Amino acid sequence: MNAGIVVASLVTLFALVAPSARLVVARRRALADPPPVQGEPELLEIAYLLGGRGRVADTVIAGMCDDGRISVNESGKLKVERALAHNAVERALLGRCGADWSTSLRKVRTSLQFAPAVDALEGALVRRGMLMSPMVKEKWRRAADVQVGGLVLAGVGVVALALMPGSFVTPFVVLALLVAGIVLRVRCRPAGPKARPTPRGKDFINRTPATGPWSVRFSATHPEGVAGVVAVHGAGGPEPDRPFLSGLRQAALSSTGVAGGHSYAKSTKTPASRKTSKSSSSSASSSSHTSGGYGCSGASSCSGHSGHSGHSGHSSCSGSSCSSSSSSSSCGGGSSCGS
């Protein structure tokens, strides 16, 4: 075996082995759990982790509708009742709508998903070790790019060895290693641009909707009320259903494919006994007609029916206690629902 074959073989092997080893190490580091961090994710962080940006928007809108700070009417319009925000995402929502019925719920929901305050939630989850760090993903991607360059160089080396007289079986050995490198590249392909959960994040995603206090669907017993149920199960999750949740579901369907928001949780089916919208109420229920809002606030009261649930000192109407097939379901002013 002459010196040319030895040099070509060594260069080819180095181009294969070194980048491939770097790729394996980068992938292992990216998929490893970061150091533990004290504390559990907060409400909007849970919504982001379980349902992406769209779930965050739904959670904020549901929470603000439930306590009467905003209202949604049957035409899919939104208006502000009380301009009070408890966090940056709620402030971003208030900045996108006004005190009249001129704001589209679908447009607000879509726009809110790209607010800087929602971007900050991803950073918070990275610090908690729930999502993969962008820096770690970038190192993984670079290692994969370098390995592709090594595969190309190794392919050139295989051709060069095959053309050298007296190389015998060397080109076939290197070719087998080249194929192994290609298989490794496919198996160790880097994560895409979307945020990717860590093993700790995946465990949280699988555990939260199934066990513990956050898994319940009844808003009256959930630690965070309607907003908490929406954060975990989506707008179709809370029981009893609310009219504004129907508007949220319609807005989500009409904006499918327009806005981002990737869910890492396994999809859960809404119970068949609950429809996406209520066309009529029971004979014991009564409704009061207002300007078309779904929010329940002010001096209104909804009592005496099983669909009533209280939240933050304001009354709210469920789909079974305040609904009507011919008018918008709303409680406001001094009206009353129930007996």
Query: Which pLDDT score is estimated for 115?
Result: 94
Looking at 158, 187, 216, the residue that finishes a domain is 187
325: pLDDT strictly greater than 80: no
In this predicted structure, the answer to whether residue 235 has a pLDDT above a threshold of 50 is yes
> In the prediction, which pLDDT does 256 show?
59
* pLDDT digits 0-9 by tens, 186-227: 999 887 777 789 999 999 999 999 999 999 999 899 999 999
Statement to judge: residues 49 and 101 lie in one domain: yes
Q: Is the pLDDT of residue 174 over 60?
A: yes
The per-residue pLDDT for 269 is: 42
Pair (182, 65) in one structural domain: no
pLDDT of residue 48: 96
DSSP H or E stretch at residue 90? helix 88-94
Domain boundaries, position 141 = 3-32+133-187
The share of the chain scoring above pLDDT 70, in percent, equals: 75
Is pLDDT of 271 > 50? no
Mean pLDDT of the residues in the chain = 77
Is residue 333 scored above 80 in pLDDT? Answer: no
Give residue 255's pLDDT.
Answer: 67
Residues 105 and 10 in one domain: no
Q: Which of 160-174, 198-212, 272-286 has the highest mean pLDDT?
A: 198-212
Query: Is 301 a domain residue?
Result: no
Annotate 26-62 with b (16+ C-beta within 10 A) or e (fewer): bbeebeeebeeeeeebebbbbbbbbbbbbbbbbbbbb
| Last residue in a domain, options 143, 164, 187 | 187
Instruction: Determine if the pTM surpasses 0.95.
Output: no
Residue, of 241 and 118, whose pLDDT is higher: 118
Minimal CA–CA distance to 294: which of 249, 245, 339, 225?
A: 245
Shared domain check, 97 and 144: no
Tell me what the mean pLDDT of segment 105-122 comes to.
93
* CA within 13 Å, CB half, 242: 40
Structure tokens at 14: 């180095």
pLDDT at 121: 94
Which residue, 54, 53, 99, is CA-closest to 77? 99
Average pLDDT rounded to a whole number, residues 135-143: 91
pLDDT score of 267 more than 70: no
Please name which of 28, 52, 48 lies closest in space to residue 190, comparing C-alpha atoms: 28
Q: Let me know how many helices (H) and strands (E) the chain has, helices first.
A: 10, 7
pLDDT for res 1: 55
Q: What are phi and psi of 310, to 5 degrees?
A: -100, 155
pLDDT the model gives residue 264:
58
Query: How would you class 223 by CB atoms within 10 Å of its CB: exposed for 0-12, middle for 13-18, buried for 19 or more?
Result: exposed
Instruction: Give the mean pLDDT of 116-138.
Output: 91
For residues 134-146, give the mean pLDDT. 91
Tally the domains of the chain. Answer: 2
Q: Which of 211, 226, 254 is the last residue of a domain?
A: 254
Q: Are 165 and 124 in a shared domain?
A: no
Q: What per-residue confidence (pLDDT) applies to 166?
A: 73
Strand (E) or helix (H) holding 310: strand 309-311
Are 125 and 214 in the same domain?
yes
- Give the mean pLDDT of 233-246: 86
- 111 and 214 housed in the same domain: yes
Average pLDDT over residues 124-143: 90
What phi and psi, each to the nearest 5 degrees, are found at residue 103? -100, 130
> pLDDT higher for 180 or 300?
180
* Average pLDDT for 137-152: 93
